[in-house]
Structure 1
Amino acid sequence: MQYIGEIAGIATAVFWTVTSMSFQVATRRVGSLNVNIIRLVLAFVFYMLYMRMSRGIWLPTDASPEAWKWLGISGLIGFVLGDFFLFQSYAFVSARISMLMMSLAPPVAALLGYIILGERFTLLNTVGLLLVLSGIAMVILNRGDKTESNRRFKYPLKGILLAFGGAVGQGSGAVLSKFGMGSYDAFSASQIRVIAGVLGFSLIFTLTRKWKGVFSTVKDIKAMKPILIGAFFGPFIGVGLSMVALQHTSAGIASTLMATVPVFILLPSVLFFGEKLTWREVLGAFVTVGGIAVFFIR
């Protein structure tokens, strides 16, 4: 199918929108670290069931040692380091600023894709990238309150650097995924990344002795419902489709399309959370959609 990579990238953004809303509810109730490890464990179970039904095996035992190595590293960088830095940044800057910094993930992916994979952008790809990033920036910069301090961008350097670390983790994780996956089954490759993420977070929880909070969360039905929904549409379906996108288009294009979550989440925010949109946010959405359209021009 033509444009399967681009379509998978957009679908990933839609599913991650559902995930973001679900995890927002869960995180405010039980904390981000608990949500992180539980969502990956649930995703691992989903992958096992899917693998058994689609390929007749529970685990990606047919993957090469090279694929395990690079996809494992990708999982550690993307799921563990990237998400850890992102969530830690919320303690110093608002989520709006953190998400703005996360929009730097596509340029990071494009740069690393050029260096590691030898991928190149055409002029139209570059225009599309700039349009998408500009639209995302317009939407995110206009979120939250409009105090003078916000307009001046006076934020703690530590928070900015942590959020940038999240963007680097996501962007580099995408490139390493594409490098390690090759022509291997995309969902099986995603399962390897999830396994690495579970092991990475397990080590963090063991060293910090925070397992008690995880066990308490599992018993909290009100927290587990949104975590279950988020795990299905995020680390399972969403990440699986993100691997399909990376497999069928360049890392820069795939990462850019997947970075449109802040735009897709605008309408659900109005419908489910009663938020109001400004003209800048609407214009930003149109600019982003225009950027996505440019990617379909060959």
Structure 2
Amino acid sequence: MVAFTGEIAALTAALFWAIATWIYSHCSQRFGAMPLNVIKGVIASLLLLIALLLSDASVGIPSGSAWGWLIISGVIGIAIGDTAYFAALRRMGPRKVLLMESLAPPLTGVLALLVLNEAITVTAALGMLVTLTGVIYVLRQQSHDDNEPSICKKGLFYGALAAVCQAVGVLLSHYALVDADVAPLWGALIRLVAGTLVIALLLGLRQEIHKQLIKPLLAMDMRNGAILTVAIVVGTFLAIWLQQVSLKYANAAVAQTLMATSPLFALPIAWLRGNPPTFKIWLGTLSAVAGIAMIMFG
């Protein structure tokens, strides 16, 4: 069990992100991409700070260049990447955006190989390919029941930008966590605070905080507020914490691949929404699970 701490954390983060993505897709119609990013960043940062204070905060404190790498990772992966993700979500819906997110793992693998000289075994590489093939196959089979918006150029651009930023942010975070032995909670908090501050500053400079952030929040009823809070707790607070755990204890490309299996966890969500998975969808799911096994045991 200890040997697979990073891999298990990555899979759990994928599950949580799948749940949150469906909720965020609803909330993205009420808020713009940047305000939604600020809301989830502020709440999740407070939760991470509380968790850090309740734990041994003196363990794994970043030092030296680790602060810089984590801050840059937060700006790229959260400020730019998450904003692009929400923008794509608003234009194409959760299914297509989760598919676009599958571009991140191979990008992470290439960057890890080029920048960190991080080797990937042949079995793990094949597992990555099998997993991604299964994910794409599953999503294509769902298309005939898809009521989401049609693919558009802006949506594709934001989806691709989110995948690139996620890959770069993951790689930088992985480097800081492993090289400087930073605690995952510290890494998650620094990344999230850095990214949230940048977006809040941009909104302030554009003088749109009241119009795009405060006004929609005040107009939100308790039910929608509770739903958004659940998405933030599950999809940001817990997911980003688990992401940092996976990046500390697993290969960067492998962790990113496992976290990209979120579309597979969306199957039971689709079933609960009245869209039972077909045999072909289950076939694609089993293929992806086989790829995950190859990654974990390769």
TM-score of the aligned structures, taking structure 1 as reference length? 0.89
User: Tell me, what secondary structure is at the counterpart of 2:275?
Assistant: coil
Q: Is 238-247 or 280-289 further displaced after alignment?
A: 280-289
Is contact 1:131-1:288 (8 Å) kept?
Answer: yes
Report what 2:283 is aligned to: 283
Q: In the alignment, does 2:65 pair up with 1:69?
A: no
In the TM superposition, what is the alpha-carbon distance from 1:168 to its structure 2 partner? 0.5
Query: Residues 247-288 of structure 1, C-alpha deviation per residue, up to 9 Å, x if partnerless?
Result: 1111110000000111101102211x2223233322221111
1:296 corresponding residue in structure 2: 296
Encode CA deviations 1:31-59: one digit per residue, 9 max, x unaligned.
Answer: 443322111100111011111110257xx
- The correspondence of residues 87-236 of structure 1 with structure 2, limited to 5 A, is 87-90=86-89, 93=92, 95-145=94-144, 156-182=152-178, 183-212=181-210, 213-219=212-218, 220=220, 221-236=222-237
Report the AA paired with residue 177 of structure 2: M
CA contact (8 A) 1:187 1:240 kept: yes
Contact 1:194 1:235 in 2 (8 A): no
Shift of 1:218: 3.1
Instruction: State the SS of the aligned residue for 1:38.
Output: helix
Q: Which residue of 1 aligns with 2:20?
A: 19
Bigger mean CA deviation after superposition, 86-95 or 197-206: 86-95
2:84–2:162 CA contact under 8 A, matched in 1: yes
User: Cα deviation per residue 1:70-122 (whole Å; 9 max; x = unaligned)?
Assistant: 11111111112112223333566555443322201000111111112211111
Query: Residues 237 and 228 (structure 1 numbering): CA distance in 2 closer, same or farther, change over 3 Å?
Result: same
Question: Are the equivalent residues in 1 in contact too, given 2:13–2:242 (CA < 8 A)?
Answer: yes
Pick closer, same or farther for the CA change 1:94–1:16 going to 2, 3 Å. Answer: closer
CA contact (8 A) 1:71 1:192 kept: yes
| Counterparts in 2 of 1:227 and 1:200: CA distance versus 1, 3 Å | same
Residue 247 of structure 2: aligned partner: 246
Corresponding residue of 1:84: 83
TM-score, normalized by length of structure 2? 0.89
Would the aligned equivalents of 1:47 and 1:236 in 2 still touch at CA under 8 Å?
A: yes
Aligned to 2:54: 53
1:269 alignment counterpart:
270
Is this contact kept in 1: 2:30–2:216, CA < 8 A? no
Please, which runs of 5 or more residues in structure 1 have no aligned partner?
Answer: none
Between the aligned partners of 1:223 and 1:130, the Cα distance in structure 2 is 39
Alignment CA distance shift 1:116-1:105 (3 Å): same
Which residue does 1:35 correspond to in 2?
A: 36
How many residues in Structure 1 have an aligned counterpart in Structure 2?
A: 290
- Contact preservation (8 Å) 1:26, 1:224: no
Return the alpha-carbon distance in structure 1 between the equivalents of residues 168 and 194 of structure 2: 15
Give secondary structure in 1 for the equivalent of 2:297.
coil
Could you tell me how far 1:295 is from its partner in structure 2?
1.6
State the one-letter code of the partner of 1:98. V
Q: Pick which of 87-96 and 99-108 moved more.
A: 87-96
Letter aligned with residue 48 of structure 2 = Y
